[in-house]
Amino acid sequence: MKLNKLLELIPFYKTNQNVDDIEITGVSMDSRSVGLGEAFVCIIGSESDGHDFVNSAIDQGAALIIAEKELSIDFPVITVNDTTKALAMISSTFYNYPTEKIHTIGVTGTNGKTTITYLLDEIFTLEQHITATIGTIQMNIAGRSYPVKNTTPDALSLQQSFQQMVEYGVDTAIMEVSSHALDQGRVYGCDFDVAVFTNLTQDHLDYHESMGDYLHAKSLLFAQLGNGYNLKREKFAIINGDSPVAGKLIRATSQPVLTYGINKPADIMAREIRLHEKGSSFVLSTPKGEITIESPLMGLFSVYNMMASAGAALVSGIDLSVIQKSFKHTKGVRGRFEPVLEGQPFGVVVDYAHTPDSLENVLKTMSEFCKGEIRVVVGCGGDRDRKKRPLMADVAMKYADQSIFTSDNPRTEDPTVILNDMTSHLNGNFVIEEDRKSAIDLAISNSEEGDMVLIAGKGHETYQEINGVRYEFDDCEVARNILSKVKGSRT
């Protein structure tokens, strides 16, 4: 692609020589993988500064440098005021604006994003749409799965993936949009048609300076809705009206809003809610009519996730009856309230709760049905929000009969420091067992008929990162192995 075409969304830039006719073969943000004839965009990150790798990018064959700092080199350079934004815009241009060709739904909020993307994927698939999802567990394009490094990929990989979706005939893309991604501009250049907000509760205060900054990052999805380049398509924001920050998000967007909720009047509401051991049922009232929902998904938080998904599906033209059918037969999401069933007389659930609010939601749900005692095995991730650690431990102590505090992914931190952050303020009885497998073993070995064990924090993850090294670890598999051993020894 000719450079002047690549820069068509960037009206003002400085250049050190005539560059218009340079032919660009691709876009790169990493000097280690830049290819011959590519434009290398210098991104200032948290660890390194792309401007420091310009010479190496040139040695690798880059045809042009896009920078935001002045570079005095005898090589074609374009200088812009924000390379992060420029990267997103040229990536979108290079891949021919793929999000304009696909109905694109973005889901943001502290908890529920992965679940909602899966619920929506099931609904659209039931309607014979060809779908793609991008999120924490994986990326899936028309039935093919790909591993992911981030919940929301960087702008370049993202636009490349959208282009692949276009090639594979995808008509609907549903993706999680993390606050980090919004803050780092990974989704500039994405023309979202529907933006969904779940909730805002404490997390990521290692990255965002305050809850206000965290909210600001989330609000960008709504502020940017409809700021794409194709204004012909309708846009909608779907917002949890029960969230204390709903008003701020509603005012952040210039596009039509549909609210959902239970406690306050909203466009989409759930009433006659029945939460039971095998799932939930409720009457869903919407601007397009009412319908009864029955679903195997448990807990009030699942009702919120279903309302959010129903809202996004409805504004996308899906019929209420399809939504009803899809919720009834949902397979649920790996590692989200996933039961481990090995014929034991007590419940074992693996769940990805790794924030105070999600842990509280899940434990509350369990406490409503558990006939015996609740045991929770939980830790907190290293190199992440330290402030949530004591709060998560408080939640465990409040709802569980036995709290077993253990390691999650300590990453580069000392596990004992994390456990100390969680527990140093606590009074009362609890157990600290740093080894996660032993902690799970303890919870299971102590359990009797009618009890319930919650193994929280890692959900679908298949590794544990200790001291920067990833070891194989799958909560479900570990629990299954222990259960089959316990069963053997008890018979």
Ligand X SMILES: N[C@H](CCC[C@H](N)C(=O)O)C(=O)O
Q: Which stretch binds Mg ion (CB under 5 A): 154-162, 173-181, 366-374, 448-456?
A: 173-181
Axis crossing angle, helix 320-328 with helix 300-315, rounded to the nearest 10: 140
Strand partners, 349: 339, 454
Of ligand UAG, ligand ATP, ligand X, none, which one sits near residue 50, judging by CB under 5 to 8 A according to partner kind? ligand UAG
Interface residue with ligand X among 384, 389, 436, 460 (CB under 6 A) is: 384
Nearer to ligand X, 110 or 309 (CB): 110
Q: Is 125 annotated as a binding residue?
A: no
Indicate the length of the chain as a whole number.
491
136 sits near ligand ATP (criterion: CB under 6 A): yes
Q: Is 112 annotated as a binding residue?
A: yes
Of ligand UAG, ligand X, ligand ATP, none, which one sits near residue 336, judging by CB under 5 to 8 A according to partner kind? ligand ATP
Q: Are 119 and 303 in contact (CB under 8 A)?
A: no
How does DSSP assign 105-126, residue by residue?
EEEESSSSHHHHHHHHHHHHHH
Per CB under 6 A, contacts with ligand UAG among 339-398 are none
Position with the least CB separation from ligand X: 381
32 sits near ligand UAG (criterion: CB under 6 A): yes
What is the DSSP code (8-state) at residue 23?
B
Per CB under 5 A, contacts with Mg ion among 344-383 are none
What is the residue whose two structure tokens read 């919004």?
A: 182
305 sits near ligand ATP (criterion: CB under 6 A): yes
120 sits near ligand ATP (criterion: CB under 6 A): no
Of ligand X, ligand ATP, Mg ion, none, which one sits near residue 409, judging by CB under 5 to 8 A according to partner kind? ligand X
Per CB under 6 A, contacts with ligand X among 435-464 are 457-458, 461
Q: Are 257 and 205 in contact (CB under 8 A)?
A: no
Burial 201-240 (b: 16+ CB within 10 A, else e): bbbbbebbeeeeebbbbbbbbbbbbbebeeeeeebbbbbb
Interface residue with Mg ion among 6, 41, 102, 113 (CB under 5 A) is: 113
Q: Are 91 and 10 in contact (CB under 8 A)?
A: no
Interface residue with ligand ATP among 91, 111, 172, 409 (CB under 6 A) is: 111
Nearer to ligand ATP, 353 or 444 (CB): 353
Nearer to ligand UAG, 137 or 453 (CB): 137
Of ligand UAG, ligand X, ligand ATP, none, which one sits near residue 386, judging by CB under 5 to 8 A according to partner kind? none
Give the separation between CA 466 and CA 112, rounded to whole angstroms.
Answer: 27
Give the separation between CA 408 and CA 388, rounded to whole angstroms.
Answer: 13
* Cα–Cα nearest to 160, from 81, 87, 235: 87
Give the separation between CA 194 and CA 107, rounded to whole angstroms.
Answer: 8
Q: 3-state class of 456 per DSSP?
A: strand
Q: Is 114 annotated as a binding residue?
A: yes
409 sits near ligand X (criterion: CB under 6 A): yes
Interface residue with ligand UAG among 25, 150, 202, 255 (CB under 6 A) is: 150
Minimum gap (Å) between residue 205 Cβ and ligand UAG: 12
Of ligand X, ligand UAG, ligand ATP, none, which one sits near residue 30, judging by CB under 5 to 8 A according to partner kind? ligand UAG
Helices (H), 110-234: 113-126, 155-167, 179-183, 211-223
* Cα–Cα nearest to 372, from 346, 339, 343, 342: 346
Nearer to ligand ATP, 301 or 346 (CB): 301
Q: Is 409 annotated as a binding residue?
A: yes
Strand partners, 282: 293
208 sits near ligand X (criterion: CB under 6 A): no
Position with the least CB separation from Mg ion: 136
The pair of three-digit structure tokens given for residue 171, joined into one six-digit string: 């008509």
Amino acid 222 reads F
Nearer to ligand ATP, 193 or 351 (CB): 351
Interface residue with ligand UAG among 8, 45, 169, 292 (CB under 6 A) is: 45
Sign of CA dihedral 292, 361, 410, 434: negative
Interface residue with Mg ion among 79, 104, 131, 136 (CB under 5 A) is: 136
Sign of CA dihedral 204, 207, 209, 215: negative
CA angle 251, 112, 453 (to 5 degrees): 145
Nearer to Mg ion, 83 or 136 (CB): 136
Nearer to ligand ATP, 87 or 134 (CB): 134
> Which residues contact Mg ion (rule: CB under 5 A)?
113-114, 136, 176
Give me the residues that bind ligand UAG (CB under 6 A), please.
29-32, 43, 45-48, 50, 53, 149-152, 154, 178, 180-181, 186
Q: Which residues are annotated as part of the binding site for meso-2,6-diaminopimelate? A: 384, 408-411, 457, 461
Known binding site: residues?
31, 109-115, 150-152, 178, 184, 186, 384, 408-411, 457, 461
